Amino acid sequence: MTTLEPGVRIEVDGVPHAVPAGATVAAALLNAGVSGFRRAVSGTLRAPLCGMGSCFECRVRIDGVPHRRACMEVVRDGMEVRTGA
Amino acid sequence: MLERHSADVVVVGAGPAGVAAACAAAEAGRRVLLLDEGVRPGGQIWRHAVRSGLPRPARRWLDRVDRSGATFTGGTTVVDGAPGRLLAERQGQPLEIRAAALVLATGARERFLPFRGWTLPGVVGVGGAQALVKGGLDVRGARIVVAGTGPLPLAVAAALRTAGARVSTVAEQAPARAVARFAAGLWRTPARALQAIRYRATLAGTRFRTGTWVAAAEGQDRVIGVRLTDGRRDWSEPCDWLCAAWGLIPATELAAVLGCATRDGAVVVDGALRTSVPGIWCAGESVGVAGVEAALVEGEMAGVAAGDGPPRAGLAGARQRHRGLARRMEAAFALRPELRSVAEDDVLACRCEDVPLGAARAAGSFREARLHTRLGMGACQGRVCGSALEFLLGWEPPAVRPPVLPARAGTLLAMTAQPRRDS
């Protein structure tokens, strides 16, 4: 595995995190201990399943844009992520 | 304002097939546009944060496509189209792309089957786990169980071990005799046999159980264990991650929306990778799952044809060999019928709209289930439940309607402005 050095700062639900540059938002969130990415119709928490953009379980709000697939986006410095929608 | 692009050859999907197609068409002197949802070329199998971490053949192909003159446009989702014309979305903005020739290399995704607890955080796909690790997920010290079928679970288990995880068990649903028969046939393809030996060495200390599958995932807010079964008895194993998927299935949605014929879940092509629609070729996993070598050969063939380049020797023969191996693999790792009775009726079949399997079953067909339960109407558009219910209930998969992936309102407006083909 390629080890990535923390190089980017993002905010997850208002809390700052140092994450590796080049990481996907999904990986960054999981590493930060986020377990629930979105809330399902019936109220349970969901997290990434397919990891490659087809299941939509990992969708979060990124910089104000809702329903972004966390597994398909790469972290950017200053990115604001909201989970639990 | 609708951004417009055009090229002689547009390739959709930048995995091995798409990369090889783009190389071949660009090397024939064509203006080539290579599109992918990912930010970098490589697709899922060559997904990477830094190219130096990739195996040498992957780096060679990616360097070659850089030099070929083809233009790579990442972060681009194709949502609709007609022959000669695609509508895509990039960073929320619509994009119209015109192409004289189109090569579809949309690859495959994993087949998921429902089981109790499969919606718990920490339950991921097999390839899904690998994609997350390639995306930077830290699995050092994590306890992982991998369950599935075919060569992918072993490859992923080896990769997870290398990344520092403790993989306790790899559960293969196929019976031991089928796996043994397939493994014995590997002498025909020395590269694969060598790979198998390497996995085995990496996986010392990991149990490999054939004839074993997932009965349920355990946990309240997150997975803490898995119940495995061999059909006679079942037992629990603790885990921090459960990686479970049942093989790969071709991604055919875009081809179907463009009017290309599909059969048995794959895009229909002739010996020259032509689809049923003139000017559209298809290569790699979307014409039938056969692995990276087949995808490279087919991509090259499709790229040469779409770019009207001089024929290259040896490709058709190589394609036949790879496809032959894929057929043997499919037979060896056929899904066992017991997998149809793993999930009880209260387990969710549709994870987007939270429709239980029993409610789906009662509806009787995809059409009825859509009308009465909203099954398959959520964000994934039936990508997960479609292939599951095809296997579980023998349902005809749902017809694909544009947009093939959820798109923003502005993109949908651009789509309605686009003249539709007759349907």
Cα A63 to Cα A47: distance, rounded to the nearest angstrom: 19
pLDDT at B36 over 70: yes
Q: Which of B116, B109, B125, B110 is nearest to B357 (CA)?
A: B116
CA separation, residue B100 to residues B185, B258, B403, B404 (Å): 43, 14, 22, 22
Q: Which of B80, B93, B89 is nearest to B416 (CA)?
A: B80
Q: Alpha helices, DSSP H only, in B163-189? A: 176-184
pLDDT at B186 over 80: no
Q: Give B89-123 pLDDT, tens digit per residue.
A: 998 899 999 999 999 999 999 999 999 999 999 99
Of the candidates B38, B53, B384, the beta carbon closest to that of A55 is on B384
Amino acid at B95: L
Looking up tokens 């003139």 gives B278
Dihedral class, residue A26 (left if φ above 0, else alpha if ψ from -120 to 50, else beta): alpha
Rounded mean pLDDT, B158-173: 95
Rounded mean pLDDT, B24-49: 94
Cα B78 to Cα B88: distance, rounded to the nearest angstrom: 4
**pLDDT confidence of residue A5:** 62
Name beta bridge partners: A81. A12, A62
Cα A30 to Cα A12: distance, rounded to the nearest angstrom: 11
Per-window interface: B 214-273 vs A, CB < 8 A: 221-222, 251
Between chains, do A50 and B112 touch, taking CB under 8 Å as contact? yes
Rounded mean pLDDT, B260-268: 96
Q: Is the dihedral of CA B280, B286, B292, B297 positive or negative?
A: negative
Supply the DSSP symbol for B172.
E
pLDDT at B398 over 80: no
Helix orientation angle between B16-27 and B56-68, rounded to the nearest 10 degrees: 40
Q: Give B187-215 pLDDT, tens digit per residue.
A: 666 666 667 766 776 788 899 999 999 99
Of B229-233, B234-238, B318-322, B419-423, the least confident: B419-423
**pLDDT confidence of residue B190:** 63
Name beta bridge partners: B99. B7
Q: Which of B234, B246, B241 is nearest to B219 (CA)?
A: B241
Banded pLDDT at B304 (limits 50, 70, 90):
very high
Q: Which of B55, B139, B95 is nearest to B403 (CA)?
A: B95
Predicted model pTM: 0.93
Banded pLDDT at B407 (limits 50, 70, 90):
confident
Between chains, do A40 and B119 touch, taking CB under 8 Å as contact? yes
**pLDDT confidence of residue B412:** 77
- Shortest alpha-carbon distance between residue B310 and chain A (Å): 35
pLDDT at B421 over 60: no
Supply the DSSP symbol for A56.
-
**pLDDT confidence of residue B401:** 80
Between chains, do B354 and A28 touch, taking CB under 8 Å as contact? no
Q: Which of B134, B157, B160 is nearest to B40 (CA)?
A: B134
pLDDT at B273 over 70: yes
Count interface pairs A-B at CB distance under 8 A.
Answer: 125
- Shortest alpha-carbon distance between residue B309 and chain A (Å): 33
Residues 6+ positions from B34 with CB-CB distance below 8 Å: B11, B14, B18, B19, B22, B41, B65, B70, B71, B72, B73
Of the candidates B49, B119, B128, the beta carbon closest to that of A4 is on B49
Between chains, do B129 and A51 touch, taking CB under 8 Å as contact? yes
**pLDDT confidence of residue A82:** 97
Amino acid at B30: R
Cα B350 to Cα B357: distance, rounded to the nearest angstrom: 8
Cα A20 to Cα A17: distance, rounded to the nearest angstrom: 10
Between chains, do A49 and B112 touch, taking CB under 8 Å as contact? yes
Residue B239 corresponds to which tokens in the numbers above?
């885990």
3-state secondary structure of B240: coil
Name beta bridge partners: B267. B262
- CA-nearest residue to A59 within chain B is B379
Question: Please, are residues B423 and B87 in contact by the beta-carbon 8 Å criterion?
Answer: no
Q: Kindly state the percentage of chain B with pLDDT values over 90.
A: 81
Q: Give B331-380 pLDDT, tens digit per residue.
A: 999 999 999 999 999 999 999 999 999 999 999 999 999 999 999 999 99
Cα B49 to Cα A74: distance, rounded to the nearest angstrom: 9
Residues of A whose CB is below 8 A from B136: 4, 19-20, 22-24, 27-28, 31
Q: Is the dihedral of CA A56, A61, A62, A64 positive or negative?
A: positive
User: Which residues of chain A are under the pLDDT cut of 50?
Assistant: 1-2
Question: Please, are residues B95 and B3 in contact by the beta-carbon 8 Å criterion?
Answer: yes
Residue positions counted in chain A: 85
Question: Please, are residues B357 and B349 in contact by the beta-carbon 8 Å criterion?
Answer: yes
B339 touches A: beta carbon within 8 Å: no
**pLDDT confidence of residue B286:** 98
Between chains, do A47 and B379 touch, taking CB under 8 Å as contact? no
Looking up tokens 């693999």 gives B329
B138 touches A: beta carbon within 8 Å: yes
Triad A1, A74, B145: Cα angle to 5°: 45
